[in-house]
Structure 1
Amino acid sequence: MSDADATGATGREIWIEKYRPQTLDDIKGQADIVERLQSYIDQHDLPHLLFSGGAGIGKTTAATAIARQVYGDDWQGNFLELNASDQRGIDVVRDRIKNFARASFGGYDYRIIFLDEADSLTDAAQSALRRTMEQFSDNTRFILSCNYSSKIIDPIQSRCAVFRFSPLSDEAIAAQVDEIAAIEDIELTDDGREALVYAAGGDMRRAINSLQAAATTGEIVDEEAVYLITSTARPEEIEAMITDAINGDFAKSRATLDTLLTDTGMAGGDIIDQLHRSVWDLGIDERAAVRLLERIGEADYRITEGANEQVQLEALLASLALDDS
């Protein structure tokens, strides 16, 4: 099969790459950040940058879009992308980054080094990175990406313009999946769109991946297809489980939990996340909501530390049922 045929074949392309924005203006849901970044490019005055925020909200896309706009067709030769979570040690900073920063280049004032997941770097590697940023500040610009800026040492933060990317709005995600569905000639129902937005939780990458996966199951992408393919519980299932526990019906609540863990195949951490998102939709008074959040936080901590997921979630439901008795 030729490349052209492969490109047109169903499922041959990963949609998150096929529809990745090529310019800053194409990025949805981060208007204020895009405007500030564009002003740096327009003024030919790009500083070191630090992007922080969750997954799938545009950090890597913004970095590559900057390179494309600064260098045009030459962007790949002047843009080095490294993933710090794969290569955490000080040798990466000393070797690959320094070699790229030292390399000769023509026609441009600086080259760009993009270090993804920079919060995975050890403190020693970050200290080496700080010295490298100082040494090559005349001809190199660094763009660092991380989930938690608090894990980046202060000397690096002070050398960067910090941009905090927020989770994408429901409207931005809905607009993107509608656009892709129209291009791919997919029938996306209203409840299917709402399910994609809910399952994504502000993560555009997850929304697009879910849309592509759901589209392989049939010509229509509806609510049922989305929840099935993403192994996500319907919001009403989560709310019913908690409401039953609060009302003292532990057995019914536990049965719902067992269905989610066993039949739906959800992970305990995912259930915790959906519980947290549903707290203020339960219609309970503020004091009860605060107690629920406290117990969700405790269960989340224990699961993160390696405790049995089912035991911790059942203990959470039991504590809510006992409150009522």
Structure 2
Amino acid sequence: MGEMEEEATAMEVDDGAVDVDPPRKLTAAQKGKAPMTQELQRSGPWVEKYRPASLADVAAHKDIIDTIDRLTAENKLPHLLLYGPPGTGKTSTILAVARKLYGPQFQNMILELNASDDRGIDVVRQQIQDFASTQSISFGNHREKANVKLIILDEADAMTKDAQFSLRRIIEKYTKNTRFCLICNYVSKIIPALQSRCTRFRFPPLQAQHVRERLEFVIDQERLDVTEDGLSAIVRLSNGDMRKALNILQSTQMAEPHVTEAAVYSCTGNPTPKEIEQIASWLLNESFQSAYSNIVQLKTSKGLALVDVVRELQPFIFTISMPGNIRVPLINCLADIEYRLASGPNEKLQLGALVSAFTHTRVALVSAAR
């Protein structure tokens, strides 16, 4: 479970709520996820169509969800910082919390901004400050909980440092009637002054079982023809990213009537396990020139990206019997090559580095056997 860095304090709310017109009119899109139209429900992206509507629908992280739910029920919701890899349920969780907290007034009581688009200091000083400075309104059965509004700042790690420092002051100033939820992939990019004002929860990659269960639900709802090996391929390629899993499933079923393992790998362009096994065999048994030429030919004929080959080789290395003192340097070398490929270098040079790393590994294995 995510670590809680400071004790959550009770929310300070006014007994008599006052209706104050906001200084600036906000659109529905600015206040949160707009309701889906019937057309979008039929043909839109499944990542939105099957976004969890309640906390019970969130695929995993039950410990985090239970903690946030308890703080909400006890009227003690602190400022939140949710961080972790993409597609792990951060945004879905806080939106589900907001729907439970505000009920039918959900759209009026939250402001959602994507900091990768609106990340300048002007946005913090204008939209956020205007929304946070207005006092809350009481709404019938939701009176106690609806007095405190919620600002969701997605991809907060894309904000400039000046904007983050400005946000720090606004959080302090409007804590009485507003709660902030910062969502990011890299918590190290959030300034310490903001981190210390929030309760942090880390969302790790989803376990394969949780991804599989959610995919099975979508397959049943959409009445898809998906084979067991096709489903396993989607789960394996998603790497704990539910958004990626749903996108792979939707794109594959649009391209092929039957979602099989071959169809999944063909649609995504990833190398199949058999192709990775063949590449590893070339790297460990062929000469430098032969292995290099064979991999280039396979990449060209199959349309493979070298970064995908390197990424799939890393877990495959653990299936090969070799001493740890040889395996570890090889894994580290593959990780370095993957990192360099992310910045767009010459693929031929990186392929040469890949073949060279395995050539050194083969020499080390022969020496160890002697």
| TM-score of the two chains, using structure 2 as the length reference | 0.81
Q: Which one of 224, 227, 248 corresponds to residue 210 of structure 1?
A: 248
Shift of 1:284: 2.9
Which letter does structure 1 place at the counterpart of 2:103? G
Q: Which one of 255, 258, 272 corresponds to residue 234 of structure 1?
A: 272
Q: Which moved more, 1:191-200 or 1:24-33?
A: 24-33
* 1:37 maps to 2:75: no
Q: Which moved more, 1:228-237 or 1:164-173?
A: 228-237
* 1:295 maps to 2:333: yes
Instruction: Give the structure 2 partner of residue 198 of structure 1.
Output: 236
Shift of 1:255: 4.6
* 1:129 maps to 2:167: yes
Which letter does structure 1 place at the counterpart of 2:171? M
CA 1:278/1:133 → structure 2, altered by over 3 Å: closer, same or farther?
farther
Partners in 2 of 1:84 and 1:267 — Cα distance? 31
| TM-score of the two chains, using structure 1 as the length reference | 0.91
Instruction: Give the structure 2 partner of residue 149 of structure 1.
Output: 187
Instruction: Give the structure 2 partner of residue 311 of structure 1.
Output: 349
Shift of 1:46: 0.8
Partners in 2 of 1:106 and 1:290 — Cα distance? 59
* 1:71 maps to 2:71: no
* 1:95 maps to 2:126: yes
Which letter does structure 2 place at the counterpart of 1:220? H
CA 1:170/1:146 → structure 2, altered by over 3 Å: closer, same or farther?
same
CA 1:93/1:300 → structure 2, altered by over 3 Å: closer, same or farther?
same
Q: Which moved more, 1:71-80 or 1:244-253?
A: 244-253
- Work out whether residues 47 and 246 of structure 2, in 8 Å CA contact, stay in contact via their aligned partners in 1: yes
CA 1:94/1:279 → structure 2, altered by over 3 Å: closer, same or farther?
farther
Which letter does structure 2 place at the counterpart of 1:57? T
Partners in 1 of 2:90 and 2:309 — Cα distance? 26
Q: Which one of 128, 134, 154 corresponds to residue 116 of structure 1?
A: 154
Shift of 1:90: 1.2
Instruction: Give the structure 2 partner of residue 281 of structure 1.
Output: 319
CA 1:264/1:79 → structure 2, altered by over 3 Å: closer, same or farther?
farther
Partners in 2 of 1:27 and 1:252 — Cα distance? 49
- Work out whether residues 25 and 34 of structure 1, in 8 Å CA contact, stay in contact via their aligned partners in 2: no
The Cα offsets for residues 33-87 of structure 1, whole Å up to 9 and x where unpaired, read as 1111111122121111111111111011011111111111211111111111112
Q: Which moved more, 1:193-202 or 1:235-244?
A: 235-244
Determine what percentage of the aligned residue pairs are the same residue.
Answer: 38
RMSD value over aligned CA atoms?
A: 2.0
SS of equivalent residue, structure 2 residue 270: coil
Instruction: Give the structure 2 partner of residue 184 of structure 1.
Output: 222
Q: Which moved more, 1:33-42 or 1:258-267?
A: 258-267
CA 1:138/1:8 → structure 2, altered by over 3 Å: closer, same or farther?
closer
Shift of 1:172: 0.7
SS of equivalent residue, structure 1 residue 188: coil
* 1:254 maps to 2:292: yes
- Work out whether residues 330 and 361 of structure 2, in 8 Å CA contact, stay in contact via their aligned partners in 1: no
Partners in 2 of 1:272 and 1:214 — Cα distance? 23
Q: Which moved more, 1:60-69 or 1:216-225?
A: 216-225
The Cα offsets for residues 157-202 of structure 1, whole Å up to 9 and x where unpaired, read as 1111101001011111111111111111112111001100111111
Shift of 1:303: 2.5
The Cα offsets for residues 260-281 of structure 1, whole Å up to 9 and x where unpaired, read as 6434434343333323333323
Number of equivalenced pairs = 320
Q: Which one of 59, 62, 69 corresponds to residue 28 of structure 1?
A: 59
Larger Rg belongs to: 2
Instruction: Give the structure 2 partner of residue 60 of structure 1.
Output: 91
- Work out whether residues 239 and 282 of structure 1, in 8 Å CA contact, stay in contact via their aligned partners in 2: no
Gaps of 5+ in 2: 1-36, 139-145, 364-370
Shift of 1:300: 2.7
Which letter does structure 2 place at the counterpart of 1:236? K
SS of equivalent residue, structure 2 residue 123: helix
The Cα offsets for residues 83-123 of structure 1, whole Å up to 9 and x where unpaired, read as 11112221111111101111343112211111111111121
Q: Which moved more, 1:270-279 or 1:220-229?
A: 270-279
Which letter does structure 2 place at the counterpart of 1:92? V
Instruction: Give the structure 1 partner of residue 307 of structure 2.
Output: 269
- Work out whether residues 252 and 264 of structure 2, in 8 Å CA contact, stay in contact via their aligned partners in 1: yes
Which letter does structure 2 place at the counterpart of 1:324? R
Q: Which moved more, 1:59-68 or 1:253-262?
A: 253-262
Instruction: Give the structure 2 partner of residue 321 of structure 1.
Output: 359
